[in-house]
Structure 1
Amino acid sequence: MGYRFGRADVEFLTSATGREALRTCAELPLTSASRMADVAAARGVAGSDFAGAVLETVLLRRKSVEKLPGFSDWLFTDEALQQATAWPVALHRAERIAGLPVHDVTCSVGVDLAALGTRASTVLGSDVDEVRLAMARHNLGLAGSVPWLTRADALRPVSRAAVVFADPGRRDKAGRRSWRPSDYAPPLGELAEVYGNRELVVKCAPGIDRSAVPWAREFEVVSLDGRVREACLWAGALAGPRSTATVLGSDGSAWSVTEDEPDDCVEREPGAWLVDPDGAIVRAGLVRQYAARHGLGQLDERIAYLTGDHPPPGVRAFRVLEHGKFREKSLRQALRARGVGKLEILARGVDIDPDELRNRLKPKGEAAVSVLLTRIGRAPHAFICEPHRT
């Protein structure tokens, strides 16, 4: 659960004494072996009342580096950092709302507010948690501007006309991640009802069932560097095609596939390459549109693996070395013949545990390959491949 911050902690951490304590403790190892020494050092500069807040903040800032590079002086709670939007994803969403006034009704510690502030005409922020609001005020000051912030329930509107953005909490009462719309805080259906006459944008977990949010005119799934990060629900005039997959890279690259594109791909025999589409494309249900765009075919209409003679750019593709119906004994023999010792196993549409299969295969040698296991019709097939990043 992490350290439970209070207003006094935020006031201390933003004071001159607190900032100096954070600087002093920034180089502590913070390992299980150094725990006693770390606590003693923190108490020496922050006192027993605030040592925990200092150590937790140093730890959270280290964790934030990958998701939020450049936010090294921000304040977080553990849960707020876990749910915070990765910066390229936040900027992508801000681009879609550029030039309009926006009210973030669940602003937390201010990550999305900071991104929206770079593009929106006016930015407002509110949250029910006074500690996170205090952190947001500090964080946004570091970002160069502090928008209007107030404590308010997201389901009790305190603004008019502005686009409403919400990032509801995604844990149920038992502390588990939840994808049911009614378990979000605030519930998604209530958000849609309260802001039914406004432009509404809601960030959700990517595993949400789109049929459970019929009010969303557009269902956008976003990935970053090959990892699916979120689903974004768009209601109102800002919504685009019914389904969108957006693929972002930390290098600034960005491209999308939409439901409006042609989906005339065919089933075909395996070609020279297999392509595993980005997870955003699979989650958004746009495998056929992606395949049609790049002249690829499906091995089976129910499986996301695609095949063709030339892989599209910017994806992980697999050059097929050999393939056939999957039999464990035959696969073991083929791998031994190739001297395979480094083995990646990917599986779709078959009830096979890759880790257990790898242990049974006992790969030994210097060669490295990927084995893709999938179903074609009713029969499981195995593809021995060389992986490539195109």
Structure 2
Amino acid sequence: MPGWDALTTAHGAALLARAAELGASGSSIDSIGQRLRRETEVDPNLLAAALTVTGLRAKAVPKFGERSGDMLFTQAGLEQASRRQVAALHASRFAGCTTVADLGCGLGAESLAFLRAGLGVRAVELDPLTAVFAAHNLGIEAAALHAERGTAPAFEVLTGDATVLGSADADGVFLDPARRTPGHSDTRRIAAAADYSPSLDFAFDAARSARAGGVKLGPGLDRELIPEDAEAQWVSVDGQLVEMGLWFGAAARPSIRRAATVIRTTPAGQDLHELLAPADAEDVDVRELGEYLIEPDGAVIRARLIGQLAAELDAGMIHEGIAYLTTDRLPETPFAQVFRITEELPAREKDLKRALAQRGIGRLEIKKRGVDVDPAALRTRLRLKGPQSATLILSRSAGRHVALLAERC
């Protein structure tokens, strides 16, 4: 992209520093651009790139931390980067290793976590601009670590094809195969796993070849593609399912093949909880609706550990094949959202609309499983009015459609 390469020059760095200074005073991106055009003659492409990066730096803090203000980003690279706490989880898998090859490093989110964990890094990135930005970002982190600790692990960033450059003598290997079309913005998701770059076969073989190996993939990957010798871990952050990781060798935990990892942000920081199993859990029996309805976290659902969670909570399924549980006792669990069922309303839309109107419900959260309903379209048709708010759960129980009015516990 024209102008972007110049961001790593002294002129580009000065332009970014001035933009940051103006931004700190409360100026908008548009105002910053107008001010910089008045202050200096600058290539329009370079200015556009600097303004884009300035905006992305603010958005990058949740993923890249407090040093984001000195780092370089592209829109697509930032969108695809791992969250900081998830990258730290990845790094913890390589305890005992000396160097990790980050094959397909992107902007360097994982490589930064490896450095913070005291691991040397061999980063490989196919896209030249992204590789330059990754090297810059790792340099920022290494300098900060050296200032804090008096030393920092060594790193290198290589531009090229991971299948050609490989992992060299690294004893840890991490891969994040590209699952979107090439580019720095407006990329599209690749639907077929066969089109990932590098291929899954290469990624799995590379991960197996090291003392410890890991492959980051989308949470919806076809389960038939999961290797039998890998630990499959689904991760959610604050209720959002973000990834599936496959772990090999020393990175995998003994006898664990399924893991649901739930990270919750708290006032004190974050809590991490895990459901672990040697295999998929069998679903528990269906039972009649109780006082409480339990919606398992997406990580639990994808890991197929609903039955294990149900057994721990003494709960049953509300319907075969539907990921809702029910119980008569209020459960406490980080692995699910819990709702108290206040009443059952008519499932027929005309009667449901009348019942909601009678209760003065004007704000309605609609959740559904096992029924063919578009919640947004239904909300429009219901024409809700009134001061009350509620949650409506649409599903099936005992072979029939149900509409459950509920409140979050």
TM-score (norm 2): 0.85
- Higher deviation after alignment, 289-298 or 326-335: 326-335
How far 1:176 moved relative to its partner?
2.0
1:258 aligned onto 2:257? no
Counterpart contact for 1:206–1:229, Cα < 8 Å: yes
Relative to structure 1, is the Cα distance of residues 74 and 39 closer, same or farther in structure 2, using a 3 angstrom cutoff? same
Counterpart contact for 2:64–2:84, Cα < 8 Å: yes
Unaligned runs of 5+ in 2: 145-151
For 1:84-163, what aligned pairs fall within 5 Å after superposition? 84-101=81-98, 102-143=100-141, 144=144, 145=152, 147-156=155-164, 157-163=166-172
Relative to structure 1, is the Cα distance of residues 216 and 12 closer, same or farther in structure 2, using a 3 angstrom cutoff? farther
Counterpart contact for 1:46–1:54, Cα < 8 Å: no
How far 1:317 moved relative to its partner?
1.4
1:63 aligned onto 2:59? yes
Distance 1:13 1:188 in 2: 41
Distance 1:40 1:14 in 2: 17
Distance 1:270 1:4 in 2: 61
Distance 2:3 2:104 in 1: 18
Where does residue 218 of structure 1 map in the other structure? 231
Relative to structure 1, is the Cα distance of residues 19 and 273 closer, same or farther in structure 2, using a 3 angstrom cutoff? same
Where does residue 232 of structure 1 map in the other structure? 245
What RMSD over aligned residues (CA atoms) do the two structures have, in Å? 2.5
Counterpart contact for 2:101–2:167, Cα < 8 Å: no
Deviations 1:23-74 (A, max 9, x none): 33564423xxx4xx55433334471252112111111112223433422321
* Candidates 185, 189, 194, aligned match of 2:197: 185
Relative to structure 1, is the Cα distance of residues 195 and 229 closer, same or farther in structure 2, using a 3 angstrom cutoff? closer
Q: Percent identity?
A: 34
How far 1:236 moved relative to its partner?
2.5
Letter in 2 for 1:301: E
Distance 2:3 2:258 in 1: 39
Relative to structure 1, is the Cα distance of residues 280 and 63 closer, same or farther in structure 2, using a 3 angstrom cutoff? same
1:42 aligned onto 2:36? yes
How far 1:18 moved relative to its partner?
4.3
Unaligned runs of 5+ in 1: none
Letter in 2 for 1:207: G
Deviations 1:87-138 (A, max 9, x none): 1111122222223231111122221111122225433222223322322232
For 1:221-300, what aligned pairs fall within 5 Å after superposition? 221-240=234-253, 241-250=256-265, 251-260=269-278, 263=282, 265-300=284-319
Counterpart contact for 1:179–1:207, Cα < 8 Å: no
Counterpart contact for 1:210–1:219, Cα < 8 Å: no
Counterpart contact for 1:99–1:120, Cα < 8 Å: no
Distance 2:202 2:16 in 1: 40
* Candidates 127, 150, 173, aligned match of 1:164: 173
Distance 1:374 1:46 in 2: 62
How far 1:216 moved relative to its partner?
5.8
Distance 1:213 1:11 in 2: 44
Secondary structure at 1:249 match in 2: strand
Counterpart contact for 2:213–2:250, Cα < 8 Å: no
